[in-house]
Amino acid sequence: MSEAPVVVPAETLSLSAEWVEAAEQAALNLGQGKSLAELCPEHWQLVLASVTDRMRVRGASLPRGWRLALSRQVGRRDSEDPTEARVLAIHAKREEIAAHVARDLGLGALAGLSPEERAAVDQQTAETIEGCDPALPEPADCSDADRTMRRLLSEHHALSELRADEANELLAERGEVFAPEDDA
């Protein structure tokens, strides 16, 4: 008998109602009043991160293709490529931050900006995201940012962290991750 694991294709994977309930609770905790199918990509990625944690705490194994299966079960029409979905989510969150920066600078909506104004907004957005990254050895004090900006930056950081975590998982699956003591 073969020792190769049996992989159930995502198209036929059906998750129990517990998975959908975990996703609904996560969306509720994130303050989303929309159905799971209507969540924007970045909020959906945050819901998926929460479902991962919730199901692991419950002792459930995370079957291959569960994200896509859950997405389909709740009626989402997201990209089938999770990497593409994360990139789109991070880009959308960055645009939300840029829109907030433009308003703070008194420039109005992003769509009406001149190329020079948009370049200034993009520069300020990059500096804000990078400067307020809690992973920096000495992050900037972003306490003067308004509540909305702090939330946006937190969500951007969570999405970026999720992307890095999943990249590390992929490397671990390939056997390309080494212990920190191996770096010496």
Annotated domain spans of the chain: 12-78, 80-175
Cα–Cα distance measured from residue 132 to residue 141, given in angstroms and rounded to the nearest whole number:
7
pLDDT tens digit sequence for 20-49: 999 999 888 888 777 888 888 778 888 888
Q: How confident is the model at residue 119 (pLDDT cuts 50, 70, 90)?
A: very high
How many other C-beta atoms can be found within 10 angstroms of the C-beta atom of residue 1?
A: 3
- Whether residue 157 contacts residue 134, with contact meaning beta carbons closer than 8 Å, is answered with yes
pTM of the model: 0.48
Name the percent of the chain lying above pLDDT 70.
Answer: 71
| CA–CA distance, 92 with 101 (Å, rounded to integer) | 14
Q: From CA 37, how far away is CA 109, in angstroms rounded?
A: 27
Cα-Cα-Cα-Cα dihedral sign, residues 162, 164, 165, 171: positive
Place of tokens 């609904």: 24
pLDDT of residue 140: 65
